[in-house]
Amino acid sequence: MTSPRRHFAGCLLVVLLALAVVPKANAIPAFARKYGLRCSACHETWPILNNFGLKFRDNGYQLMNDRDAPIWQNPSYWPVTFRITPIWHRVSANTEVDTYTGVTAAAPYGASAVKSVESSGFDLSGLDFHTGGTLEKNISFYVLPSSDPTAAFHFETVMARFDNILGTSWLNLKMGRFELNNLLSEKRMVGLTAQGGIYQTYHYIPVGDANIFGQMGDNQLGLEYLGHSYNDRTRVSASLLSSNDGNVNLIMGSNSYSTFLTFDQGIDTGKLGVQRIGAYYWGGEAATYYRTSAGVAIPGSGIGNKGFYRVGFTGQLYLGPHFDLNVVTQHGSDNAWFGQGYGNAVNTNGNGATTCTAGIAPLTTSGCLPNNTPGTVLPVGSRAAIWNGYTFEARYVFNPQMIFIAHYDAERMSQQANGPGYTGLGPTGIAGPSPSSLGNINLWDVLFRYNPFMSSRAGMAIQPEFTVFQQTGTGPTNPVTGLGTTEHSSELLIALDFAF
């Protein structure tokens, strides 16, 4: 190791050591400050909720101690928490790069080859302003303005809720933009890398499919009923959602709705803890045809609804105080129209596509998604896209200040939208039926999260993390075979995650 490198390693070590013994911060996370409880009371490691935190949330952010209403709080209490995460990360992805060999006038960059492109450096997450609490006993709210790293803000969560209506914990309602009642919460996961920071199962969309409206990990706009037993062992919920993936202004998916249903049951298993198993179903419709004006799709005019569903099991299995395993399975299906890329013709929300300007655009037109205008027929061989997804997250809690997490996602196509008899160009530009494995995903993510201190005032975690992501057929095209290769990326990250 050369001297500058040794210097870098030394500096990094000193910084980490200094942070490991950092004194108590003076800032105050909202709920911990209100109730004087440590982060660990509600969080396995913040922000992952434990069973007590889940009960607290289900009660409308109330301890139910007759001191929940704001009238009981010190007038200076301000229910706001800020969270931001400086990071250092090293990203690697296989990319088709020019080799500058065999340069000709017709090929000024020469040949190309698939190579791993790496980059590293210090970086920053966005900033979250969490504000929530009780407006009055059994009436609470949550507002989360969130920015990307460039400080462009949006409202991640905005909702008000009424709890214990008619004095029963079985009747609670909330309305607004909120996270679905996922037992394994993506909004509370601690993964921070680009791919390991989400559950792939919650966002999976088959290659070429344009149904963005079935992503369980995205906050959705709608109304949710939640009922739970007094000790929160039994939980049931039903949500009526707009099929717009949480986007405002009724631009996408207007005039279409979906329903998300969940049930889970906690089982007392003595020394092992509370085991929780459950199931969910998300079914609904979304528009595939947007009326046009001079050939241009009109936002908010969606009709021609087609169906989709997601269904699966959830499990939260505690094997004693130190180890727990979380499981989510999913069986998903999108109507054949979605499978052929219809359903998102007015996408202007930065998902990578742009509005088609006229009629039916071929899938191969870069960045342009088709509109199901009158007279449109599906190509021969089109069929529903069907897949299965599996998420496993194992956590080892060494103590409330230190946790190890390993997370694995597997997404497996069981039926491609371009089936036998399909002769057109597929989503990767290859004619004919799609390979059965196209779009399959494997993701491995391991991390270690250490809280140098544990208090009711602020939270800080030091988190090294490593993620490997693979998706079949979506990588750079092999210049020899003309086929898509397996997309392969990895990320090593060290973060200072703090909330105050």
Partner 1 sequence: MRKESIPVSALIGVIAVIALSIASRAQVTTVQEQQWLNSPAATSHVHGLTGDAQRAAMNYRRYCVGCHGDLGDGNGEVAPWLDPTVSPGNFRPRDFTLGVFKCRSTPTGTLPTDEDLFDTIGRGLDRSNMPIWNQLTNQERADLVAWVKHYSPRWQSEKPGTPIQIPPEPQITPDRVKAGQDVFNRVQCWKCHGVQGMANGPSASTLQDDLGRTIAPYNFTAGDRPKCGKTDADLYKIFMTGLDGTPMPSFVDNIKPDEAWDLVFYLRSLEHPNKNNAKEHEIARQLGLKPVNPNP
Binding-site string for partner 1 from residue 210 to residue 239, where x marks contact by CB under 8 A and - marks none: --------------------xxx-------
**Residue 395 contacts residue 405 (beta carbons within 8 Å):** yes
Q: Give yes or no for residue 448 binding partner 1 (CB under 8 A).
A: yes
136 lines the binding site for partner 1 (CB under 8 A): no
Q: Whose Cβ is closer to partner 1: residue 20's or residue 298's?
A: 20
In this chain, which stretch among 36-44, 169-177, 184-192, 429-437 interacts with partner 1, using CB under 8 A? 36-44
Residue among 131, 401, 474, 486 that touches partner 1 (CB under 8 A): 401
Give Cα separations from 40 to 76, 391, 456, 461 (angstroms): 24, 25, 9, 13
Contact pick of 55, 306, 407, 488 for partner 1 (by CB under 8 A): 55
For residue 51, state whether it binds partner 1 (rule: CB under 8 A): yes
459 binds partner 1, rule: CB under 8 A = no
Determine how β-strand 323-334 pairs with β-strand 402-415.
Answer: unpaired
Nearer to partner 1, 299 or 452 (CB): 452
Is residue 452 at the binding interface for partner 1, with CB under 8 A as the rule? yes
Residue 1 found at the interface with partner 1 (CB under 8 A) = yes
For residue 80, count CB atoms less than 10 angstroms from its CB and return exposed for 0-12, middle for 13-18, buried for 19 or more. middle
Residue closer to partner 1 (CB basis): 27 or 63: 63
485 binds partner 1 (CB under 8 A): no
CB contact at 8 A, 265 and 241? no
Site for partner 1 contains 15 (CB under 8 A): yes
Cβ-contact 456, 33 below 8 angstroms: yes
Does position 291 interact with partner 1 (CB under 8 A)? The reply is: no
Q: How many CB atoms lie within 10 A of CB 157?
A: 21
Q: Which stretch binds partner 1 (CB under 8 A): 16-24, 194-202, 283-291, 427-435?
A: 16-24
Binding status of residue 105 toward partner 1 by CB under 8 A: no
Q: Judge contact between 449 and 46, C-beta under 8 A.
A: no
Q: Which is nearer to partner 1, 76 or 104 (CB)?
A: 76
> From the CB of 21, what's the least distance to partner 1, in Å?
7
Under DSSP, the state recorded for 478 is P
What's the CA gap between 379 and 421, in Å, rounded?
9
> What whole-number distance in Å separates Cα of residue 448 and Cα of residue 159?
32
Cα-based angle 445, 6, 3 (whole degrees, multiple of 5) = 145
| Pick from 193, 234, 241: nearest CA to 216 | 241
Q: Which stretch binds partner 1 (CB under 8 A): 11-19, 277-285, 343-351, 381-389?
A: 11-19
**CA 500 to CA 27: how far, in whole Å?**
5
Contact between 166 and partner 1 by CB under 8 A: the answer reads no
Rounded Cα distance, 329 and 340, in Å:
25
Q: Which residues contact 469 (CB under 8 A, 6 or more apart)?
A: 195, 196, 441, 442, 443, 487, 488, 489, 490
Give the nearest distance from C-beta 10 to partner 1 in angstroms. Answer: 8
Indicate which single residue of 75, 102, 108, 270 sits in contact with partner 1 (rule: CB under 8 A). 270
Least distance between partner 1 and beta carbon 49 (Å): 11
Pairwise CA distance, residues 388 & 281, whole Å: 14
Please give the residue ranges that form the binding site for partner 1 (CB under 8 A).
1, 5, 8-9, 12-13, 15-17, 20-21, 35-38, 40-41, 50-52, 54-55, 63-67, 72, 74, 88, 90, 118, 120, 167, 230-232, 266, 268-274, 321-322, 397-402, 448, 450, 452, 455-456, 462, 464, 492, 494
